Amino acid sequence: MRIENGYLQQSMLCSKNNRNAVGNFSDTMNKAQECISNKISTRDSYVNSTDYSNFGIYTQNSISQDIELPIETERYKIEDATYVNGVAAYEIVDKQTGKDFYIREDQLAIQRDEKTGMEFLINMDQPFSYNVTMTSELKNLLNDLSDKRNIDIKEIPLQGGLVVNRDSKTGLNYLSIKGNEAQGVSVIITSDKDIETLNKLADEFQKYPVSSQRSTAGLYALLEISGNLKCEKDGFTFLTPNGITYIPYDGDYSKAWEIDMPGSCYATARKCLAAENDCADISTWTKILKGIKIYYGDNYGTTQENNAYKVDNLGRYCMFA
């Protein structure tokens, strides 16, 4: 997967002067490709859905209308996103991190990570980057909503194989799919310090010519946080769900290479990347992986067989903040 300038939309990336944009790393590389300016059409499609909750909270007929929206605290805001057939749905906004998402009322459930005790609201019908970290302030707001709407917001374990992990370098926690971390990562932002830490890491990557654009630097930062990127002597080696890529810091693609591998090889590749190996040496990989295709230099990211790693085909890889 080649990463080039313009790979992410600049307006969707965290910047040094805009802490609220940090949440909008999310979904820039997901097949949904939702644009920030197109949230309304996404909401239309979502609220029109006739699916009922997997959590069995209640049916549409039992919804009480005894509440005025929006309801708001210093950090959070819950707005009414309902306008189709009386189906209740909300836009939940975390003003500190800039994260916001739509969720149907019958899908409201607090998901808890058993290891850390951290809790989240997650829209399970969308990429898991559509989440907000639970705090006492948000829980009180939801309790107020629950009382006035006469609903039971259940507390359940994390769904979909999601777990909370911690990056040892930055100390940042992140959500990912256990055993399939290259499918995406959602960095858990709980404070201004976390935002500062994420921006500092992006600063480190931005000093290299290959990632001089803020968007690209942010992507590499997320790859490293999730354990999918290793900084070598002269370049980066990173993993995707179906591949391994090496690219020099100076952006000389004639020295780059990538491996197309079966998804079943990901666990082996992740262990290799984490070990004390020279992962920029392609022989490190050819010794342990079978059934792979290798692309060098001028063929890097250009052949039809390897099209999944070109920047114009984003559906195979997703990194979130």
Phi-psi region of 33 (alpha: psi -120 to 50; beta: other; left: phi over 0): left
Give the pLDDT score at 81: 83
Give the pLDDT score at 272: 96
> Is the per-residue pLDDT at 147 higher than 50?
yes
Local confidence band at 100 (pLDDT 50, 70, 90 cut-offs):
confident
Local confidence band at 210 (pLDDT 50, 70, 90 cut-offs):
very high
Give the pLDDT score at 140: 95
Local confidence band at 298 (pLDDT 50, 70, 90 cut-offs):
low
Give the pLDDT score at 242: 87
Asked whether the whole model's pTM tops 0.75, one would answer no
> Is the per-residue pLDDT at 255 higher than 80?
yes
> Is the per-residue pLDDT at 51 higher than 50?
no
Which residues touch 61 (CB under 8 Å, ≥6 apart)? Answer: none
Give the pLDDT score at 300: 54
Selected residue with higher pLDDT from 290 and 1: 290
Selected residue with higher pLDDT from 175 and 25: 175
Give the pLDDT score at 123: 85
d(CA 38, CA 32): 12
Which residues touch 85 (CB under 8 Å, ≥6 apart)? Answer: none
Give the pLDDT score at 280: 95
Provide the angle, in degrees to the nearest 10, between the axes of the packed helices 192-206 and 214-225.
110
DSSP annotation string for 255-302: G-EEEE--GGGHHHHHHHHHSS--TTSHHHHHTT--S-EEEEGGGTTT
Q: What is the mean pLDDT of the chain?
A: 76
Computed on alpha carbons and rounded to an integer, the radius of gyration of the chain in Å comes to 21
> Is the per-residue pLDDT at 115 higher than 90?
yes
Give the pLDDT score at 107: 85
Give the pLDDT score at 38: 37
Worst-scoring range by mean pLDDT, 49-53, 213-217, 256-260? 49-53
d(CA 9, CA 26): 11
Do the Cβ atoms of 10 and 222 come closer than 8 Å? Answer: no
> Is the per-residue pLDDT at 131 higher than 50?
yes
Give the pLDDT score at 65: 54
Give the pLDDT score at 32: 27
Which residues touch 245 (CB under 8 Å, ≥6 apart)? Answer: 1, 2, 236, 237, 238, 239, 256, 257, 258, 259, 309
Give the pLDDT score at 15: 41
Worst-scoring range by mean pLDDT, 104-108, 167-171, 232-236? 104-108
> Is the per-residue pLDDT at 45 higher than 50?
no
Give the pLDDT score at 266: 93
Q: Which segment, 40-54, 70-84, 273-287, is predicted with the most confidence on average?
A: 273-287
Give the pLDDT score at 30: 32
